[in-house]
Amino acid sequence: MPHKMTLTGSATGPLREYDRYVAFDMREKGSPSAPKGLKKSTFISYTVFVAKKAFNKTGLTKKSIMHEKILVQGEPTLDIPIDECPGEIGIICFQITVLPNKNDKEANESNDKKEAKQEVAATKQEEKQAPISQPVATEEKKEAETVQPEAKEMPVQEPNTAPQQKQLPTQPKGTQDVVSFDEIIVPEAFLKTRPNPVKTEKVIEFVKRTGHLDEPLTIEKDSKILKDGYRRYIVAKTVKMDKVPVVYEYQK
């Protein structure tokens, strides 16, 4: 059975249409660490073949496919004529997904911040209006004065809880810190493995739905070497995360 492959990136050439399928070219960079004694690969070109029905479901067009970042899952093929397959490797696509744009993600985050500010402003207005009461008798005023300090203490707690609710959706449970993605060092043992593409796609869908990883990465405190969570590292790289949540495993 042919080996399944996963590609990410944008089309490097125009979309070509045939009777029942469409084709386009993609390119990926080779591994940064080749086995000792062998030359490092530069770029590998692929020609992707997608059924028209599956392609139309993505909403991609001849123009947008050159700019959108996509994820392709499929298997290599040798049964396509050479004139239809200019890439070094032909890929029969089983699944194609449009990955979220970084600008769209930043826009969503800014909208969330605006909504949070509006909620805080609304609670402050309610707090200002709460102490206002109608004129009452002298005895009723004394009772009101004893009650007012409790009413004044309540609004002090609400602004403190608002920032905590705002932080929860931005990072998974158990996160100890948030570090720059570029600081994390991946051991060669991880680079030689290839995570299950189906499970990887599920994590990508989770990030698209929530805006954060499902679990933090595990790294060493001082060296920033990755100890666990290589699949989530791949997902963070795919969706171009600038910062990632982590937990620390201290060096012995």
Start-end ranges of CATH 2.40.50.140 in the chain? Answer: 5-99
Q: For 184-234, how does the pLDDT look when each residue is reduced to its tens digit (9 = 90+)?
A: 999 988 888 888 999 999 999 998 988 889 899 999 988 999 999 999 999
Mean per-residue pLDDT of the chain:
79
pLDDT at 249: 86
> What residue has token string 């399944």?
4
pLDDT at 226: 92
3-state DSSP of 43-62? EEEEEEEEEHHHHHHCCCCC
Q: For 137-156, how does the pLDDT look when each residue is reduced to its tens digit (9 = 90+)?
A: 455 555 555 555 554 555 55
Burial tier of 92 (Cβ tally within 10 Å: 0-12, 13-18, 19+): middle
pLDDT at 82: 75
CA dist., res. 98 & res. 58, Å (int): 7
**3-state SS class at 136:** coil
pLDDT at 136: 46
CATH topology (fold) of 172-249: 3.90.1530
Question: Which class is domain 5-99?
Answer: mainly beta
Which helix (DSSP H) or strand (DSSP E) does residue 198 occupy?
Answer: helix 197-210
pLDDT over 80 (residue 246) = yes
CA dist., res. 165 & res. 54, Å (int): 40
Q: What is the mean pLDDT of residues 45-64?
A: 90
Start-end ranges of CATH 3.90.1530.10 in the chain? Answer: 172-249
pTM of the shown model: 0.40
